[in-house]
Structure 1
C-alpha cells in the first residue's frame, strides 16, 4: 500500500482553494471541546447498550414506524429516493413535517431509570434543492454549478436549501457530493462539480458553509440550518469504465491526490458528516476499508465527525449481509444506513458487542460521535424543540420562496456555457422565436434525476412542479418583454416562418447506475433532425442541450448556428432566457473537458478535447470554425441480433449442455429458461443455472464482432461464472457481482478481451445462478472500446 499523504501534502493540495480556506470557520475552542466531551461522557454513562447500538442504525421511513422508533430509539432515519411520508412520495410538505414531529416525539418519550432519551434525526438527499418535496426550489445540478464556478452563489444555494429542508422538519442533508468524476460514462457525473479536484473542493466546501450556516467558535450549526455531509469517501468518480459502485485501481497516493482532495476543504468548513462510498479502492470496499476510513480520514485529515454508510453499502463487504456486518463498524463506520433490515442488524450488533466481537469502546466511540453531531445541531440542548417548533420549522412558505427561486434563476443563467455562436446570440429584440423539441416544456427533463423521484422524469408532468418555470415558459415571457413573440412546437413544425429556432433536446433523466453509459455518443437524433431541417430552410438555430455530462455532439454543432451546454438547469427556466437574450452575460465555463472524437472513451484534460476545461464564449466572440468530423464508428456499427424481443435470430440456436432450448426456452443440462416480461409480454428470458451448468448460443453462419448483452442479475454469484467465446474463457464473476441488484445492465465483450471470430457464446456457472437476458447482439465494436459491465 502506498504511503498516505501527510499534512504538508494536503496543505499544498489545497493551495488552489485559498478562497474557501480563508472563509473556513475556526475550530471549536479547547474549552468548548472539553465541554462537549464532558456532556457526551455523561450521556454515554447513562445509556443502555441496546440504545447505544440503536444510535448506530438508520432505517428508511418506508420501513420504520413511530411505534418502532419509540421501542428501538434509532439514532437517525432517512427517506430514500422514492420514499415519502406514509408511503406517498408526492406527499404535501405538511405531511413531511407531521412525520418528523411524530418521530421526534417517539424518540424523546421518557425512558425508565433516568436513562436519557436521545432525539432522532432525519436525513435526506437534497442534492440540488429540497427536491424530494413537491413545491421546493429546484436548483441546477452540480455540473452546472461547476460551470458557473461562483462559491458565493453556491453558499447562498446551500442556505436556501437548508431553510427549505428545516421547514419540513428534517435535520440532515446527504450533500454535497464532492466526487471528482474522471470518466463521464459514470451515471453520477452530473453530481460532480468538476473533473478538477480544486473546483470540487472550492464549491463543495461553499455548500457546506451554506447548509450549516456560520459555525460558531464552539462548532455549533447555525439556527435554521442543517447538518451537511461530504460524499462519497472516496473515489466514487474514478471507477474503471465509469461503472457505478465499481473498483478504482491505481497508486494510492495518486488516487488520493485527485479523489480525496476535496475532503480537507469540507472538514475545514466544519462538515459534520462524511458518507462512505460504495466503490472499492484497489479491490477493498470502502465501507470496510480501515486504513482509509480511520487512517486517512481521521488520522491524516483530522476528521472528528460522523462517518455514515450508504444504502446497504456495508453488505457489499465480503462476508457481510444487510443485517450482519461487524466489519464496517470496526473499520470506522459510525452509522449503518440499513433501509429495511434495522431490527435484524440491531440484534446482530448487540450480540456481537456482548460476545466481544465488537469492543464496547468502539461502540462508545461511534455513539459519542453521533451525540456530538446532535449536540452541535442544538438537538441536545435543554428545552430543545420538536421540528415544527424550531426557527424555520413549519414555515412551509419557504419552499419555493421567491427569493430562493431568484437564486436558482441566477444559477441557471450563470451555468449556461456557450460553445458556438455565429452571431445569433444574444437573441434580438422583436424577434419571432420558434421553441422546438419535446424537452422545451418539460420541467422534469430539465431537472434530471433526484427530482421528486429517484430517477426523475418518467411520468412527472409540469403539474408536479407548482411555481416552477419550464424553458419554454421562460422564453415565452422574455420574447414578449423584448417586443417579439415565441411559439412552442414540440415536434418542430411551424406555419409562420420564425426568425430563429431554439431547439431544446438532450438526455432523458436518470440517477446513479441507471445512467451509466458504454460510450459518450449521443445517438438520439430528435434535436439533430430539427437542426438540419431548419438549416435547410435557411432558419437560424440555437441548440440548447440538456445533459448530465459532455457528450460527442459534432453533428449537432455542425448543424447549429449557436450551441449552448445547458446541463440540467432545474426548475427556473427563465434563467436560460436571461442568458439567451443577453440579460445576463454568457459567463459559464466548462468544468469538464468536451470530447472531440467519437471513440467511446472519456476525456479528462486537453488531450482529445474539442473544448478544454475552462472554455466558454462570451457574447461578441463569434465562432465559425472548421466543420467537425461526423464520422462515428459506434453509430455505424453493424449489428446481428442473436436474441431480441423474445426471439432467437435467424440461424441462432440455444442449448443447455447438449439439450436444445428452442427459442431459448425449456429445460436441459442444468439450465431452465422461461419467458418473462420486461417491456412487453415475454420479451426476455430468465435463465436458472444449476451448479456447473452451461448455456450455449451458436451461429450457423460466420458472424464476427463483439457481443452486447442486456442482462439483469438480482443477486450476486456465489461461485465463479465464466463466459467463453472464440476459444477464450473470461472470468466475469467480479463484473456480475458489481452489477447485481442494479436493474438492467449491458455487458460488452470486445476484441480487447476476447477473439472476435467465435461462432459460439457460452456462459458457465460453478454455483446456482439466476440471470435474466433481454438482448444478445453480435456487433462490430470499434477498436479501443473496453470490455465492460
Structure 2
C-alpha cells in the first residue's frame, strides 16, 4: 500500500472531490482583461495573468494589490475554494508596475557572473511582486541565444550553457527565499522549453511578412501594434521568434537542456513551453520532449504552462490543438482570451475519450501540488507595499548596473576625473525608457520617464564635483571644447519577435552624434544601451573608449559609479561580439571582435614589494 505524505493526502482528497468542470477550470489561465465578473468562481479558474502592460488603470502598487487580491478573493467563492494563483512577466523586477525597481535585463546579469547578486535580485523581485499579491513570475528565461538577431536575446544570460544554469538556479533560489511556503516566495516559470534560442532565421511563421495579419492577431492588436508594423517588418521583425530549431538531439541535450536540469535541482515547480518548434514539431504539442524527457527522464514534478495562446499554433483546427497539447503533457493553458471556448473544447475531448481522464487528473494534481507547496491554501500575510522600489532594492540594482558594464576599449579615458569638463551627448543619456528597454511598464517598453529612476544625465550631474562641469547636447553639437565626450546611444526598445532584425548596426543618427562630439572633444567614449552586441568594427577605431552598457534598468547611477572611478569596471562578456553582419549567428566559422570572457578592468594593479 502506497504511503502518502500529508501534502499528498490533502491533494488526493481534494482531487477526489472535484468534478470534471472544476478540474478543467484549474487548467485554465485567462488574461485579466478577458475575465467576466463571477467567472473565476463559476469555472473554478486556476489562474489569471497580466500580460505585458496588463496594469490597473492607475498604475501604482496599491492599485496592483487591490486588483490582484480582488481576483484571488473571487476564487474563494467557488465550491471548493481552491485559491487562484496570479502570474506576471516580472522579467527584470516587477517591470509592469510604475515605481518598481527595474533591474538590468538578463544579458547584463550574465556579464556580472555573480550568482550571489542574481540571488539577491531574485529575492528583491519576489518581495516586490508578492507585496502586490502576485505569487507567480514568468521568469527566468534560460535561453541560449545562438543568433543575436533574435529580439529576445537580452532575456538570455549568456551563450555559455553552464553560466546560464548557474545564474538561473541562483535567481530561482532568490524567488523562493526561505521556503516555497513562505508568504514572500514567488513561483518561477523557467522558460521557454526548449531551444527557443536556436531557431533558424526566416523560419518564424507568426506574421510571415504580411502586415495585414495584424487584423487577425488579437495579441498584437491588444498591444496596439498597428501603423509601425510594416516598418518593423522591413527591419526584420518576426524572422526568428517562434521559429523552428533545426538542431540534432545531441546539441539539444548538450546545450539547451542542461539549464532546465539545474533549474529543477534548484526547486523549480513550473516550466513554460516555447512557441518554437524542434525540427518541425511545435513544442506545445511535443509528447517526446515534454512527457518522455522533461517529466520522465528529468523527473520534473511541477506543472507545465503554455505560452500566451501557444496551443493555437499547433493546428488549424482548435479541437486538435487542445487534444494534442494536453496529451503531450501540457497542464495549464494560457488561453488567454477565449477561456470558455477552451473549457468547452477540453470537456468535449475528455467526454469523447480523446483526452484520458487520467491525463486531466495528472495535470490538476501537479497544479494543486504546486499551489499547496506555495502555501496558497493558508491565510498568508503580504509583504508591506513600502518594499516596492525601496532604497535597499535600488541599491542592489545599482550594484548590478556597475558590475554589468563591460569595458571593451579604454585608451586613457576611464576612470574620468570628477573635476573634468565633460560633454555628455546622445538622446539616450536623458531617456530612462531607452535605458530600461522592452518589458518595462508596457510589453514593448517606451521612451522618456516611463517610471521612477535615474538616467545617465542625472547620474553624471550628481557625481561631478560641480554641476557646471557637465554640458549636455542631444546631438553632440556644441560651441565649446572639452577634455572628454561621453556619447550614449541605444537601440529601440522592443520585445519578442518585434525586436528581430536583419542587421545589427548603428543608425546614421548614432554615427552623426558621435562625429559631432568627436569634433569638440580631445577624447570620446561610447556607451551602448542594447539587448545584444551590435557590429561596431568599422567605427571603434575612432573611439577612445567603448562600453557595452546593455539595458541597465532604472538605476543609472551605477554607470556613473564606474565611469568616474568610485568602483572599477569588472564586467565580462557572456556573449561573443560579432566582427561583421555575417557573424551574428554563432557558428564554428563565426569571427568575433571580442569573445566570451572579454572585458577590461580599471582595477589598480597592486604593488608588490
Residue 621 of structure 1, CA deviation: 9.4
Q: For 2:291 and 2:43, how far apart are their aligned partners in 1?
A: 28
Q: For 1:359 and 1:212, how far apart are their aligned partners in 2?
A: 34
Q: What secondary structure is seen at the aligned counterpart in 2 of 1:325?
A: helix
Q: Alignment partner for residue 135 of structure 1, among 99, 105, 113? A: 99
Counterpart of 2:370 in structure 1 is: 373
Q: Alignment partner for residue 471 of structure 1, among 456, 480, 492? A: 456
Q: For 1:343 and 1:363, how far apart are their aligned partners in 2?
A: 17
Counterpart of 2:573 in structure 1 is: 590
Residue 253 of structure 1, CA deviation: 2.0
Q: For 1:511 and 1:128, how far apart are their aligned partners in 2?
A: 13
Counterpart of 1:40 in structure 2 is: 11
Residue 398 of structure 1, CA deviation: 1.3
Residue 247 of structure 1, CA deviation: 0.3
Residue pair 1:532, 1:559 contacting (<8 A) in 2 also: no
| TM-score, with length taken from structure 1 | 0.70
Counterpart of 1:422 in structure 2 is: 411
User: How do 1:239-250 and structure 2 match up within 5 A?
Assistant: 239-241=199-201, 243-250=240-247
Counterpart of 1:24 in structure 2 is: none
Residue 606 of structure 1, CA deviation: 8.5
* 1:81 aligned onto 2:63: no
Counterpart of 1:548 in structure 2 is: 531
Counterpart of 2:198 in structure 1 is: 238
Q: For 2:517 and 2:319, how far apart are their aligned partners in 1?
A: 55
Residue pair 1:324, 1:345 contacting (<8 A) in 2 also: no
Q: For 1:604 and 1:442, how far apart are their aligned partners in 2?
A: 35
Moved over 4 A (4+): 604-607
Q: For 2:323 and 2:27, how far apart are their aligned partners in 1?
A: 12
User: How do 1:231-310 and structure 2 match up within 5 A?
Assistant: 231-241=191-201, 243-310=240-307
Residue 538 of structure 1, CA deviation: 4.7
Counterpart of 2:224 in structure 1 is: none
| 167-176 vs 537-546, greater mean Cα deviation | 537-546
Q: Alignment partner for residue 382 of structure 2, among 381, 391, 398? A: 391
Counterpart of 1:202 in structure 2 is: 166
Q: Alignment partner for residue 539 of structure 1, among 494, 512, 522? A: 522
Q: For 1:442 and 1:416, how far apart are their aligned partners in 2?
A: 18
* 1:497 aligned onto 2:486: no
Q: Alignment partner for residue 480 of structure 1, among 465, 476, 493? A: 465
* 1:435 aligned onto 2:433: no
Q: For 2:417 and 2:52, how far apart are their aligned partners in 1?
A: 42
User: How do 1:633-652 and structure 2 match up within 5 A?
Assistant: none
Q: Alignment partner for residue 186 of structure 1, among 142, 150, 154? A: 150
Q: What secondary structure is seen at the aligned counterpart in 2 of 1:77?
A: strand
- How big is the alpha-carbon RMSD for the aligned residues of Structure 1 and Structure 2? 1.9
Q: For 1:298 and 1:164, how far apart are their aligned partners in 2?
A: 31
Counterpart of 2:135 in structure 1 is: 171
Q: For 1:598 and 1:621, how far apart are their aligned partners in 2?
A: 36
Residue pair 1:134, 1:452 contacting (<8 A) in 2 also: yes
Residue 272 of structure 1, CA deviation: 1.2
Q: Alignment partner for residue 50 of structure 1, among 9, 21, 24? A: 21
Counterpart of 2:186 in structure 1 is: 226
Residue pair 2:91, 2:140 contacting (<8 A) in 1 also: yes
Counterpart of 1:105 in structure 2 is: 73
Residue 323 of structure 1, CA deviation: 9.7
Q: For 1:322 and 1:431, how far apart are their aligned partners in 2?
A: 68
Counterpart of 1:525 in structure 2 is: 508
Residue pair 1:593, 1:606 contacting (<8 A) in 2 also: no
Q: What secondary structure is seen at the aligned counterpart in 1 of 2:318?
A: coil
Residue 605 of structure 1, CA deviation: 6.7
Q: For 1:406 and 1:353, how far apart are their aligned partners in 2?
A: 52
Q: For 1:600 and 1:322, how far apart are their aligned partners in 2?
A: 42
Residue pair 1:312, 1:322 contacting (<8 A) in 2 also: no
Q: For 1:535 and 1:150, how far apart are their aligned partners in 2?
A: 35
Q: Alignment partner for residue 512 of structure 1, among 485, 496, 499? A: 496
Residue pair 1:213, 1:221 contacting (<8 A) in 2 also: no
Residue 367 of structure 1, CA deviation: 0.3
CA deviation map 1:764-785 (0-9, x unaligned): xxxxxxxxxxxxxxxxxxxxxx
User: How do 1:22-41 and structure 2 match up within 5 A?
Assistant: 34-41=5-12
Q: Alignment partner for residue 400 of structure 1, among 379, 389, 405? A: 389
Residue pair 1:51, 1:72 contacting (<8 A) in 2 also: yes
Q: For 1:191 and 1:247, how far apart are their aligned partners in 2?
A: 19
Residue 280 of structure 1, CA deviation: 0.3
Residue pair 1:433, 1:479 contacting (<8 A) in 2 also: no
Per the alignment, do residues 455 and 538 of structure 1 end up closer, same or farther by CA in structure 2, a change over 3 Å counting? Answer: closer
Per the alignment, do residues 84 and 533 of structure 1 end up closer, same or farther by CA in structure 2, a change over 3 Å counting? Answer: closer
Q: For 1:568 and 1:222, how far apart are their aligned partners in 2?
A: 31
* 1:149 aligned onto 2:129: no
Residue pair 2:476, 2:517 contacting (<8 A) in 1 also: no
Q: Alignment partner for residue 446 of structure 1, among 435, 438, 452? A: 435
CA deviation map 1:130-163 (0-9, x unaligned): 0100000000000000001100000000000000
Q: For 1:322 and 1:134, how far apart are their aligned partners in 2?
A: 40
Tell me: higher relative CO, structure 1 or 2? Use CA pairs within 8 A at least 6 residues apart: 2
How many residue pairs were aligned? Answer: 567
CA deviation map 1:30-57 (0-9, x unaligned): 98x7222211110011111111100001
Residue pair 1:55, 1:76 contacting (<8 A) in 2 also: yes
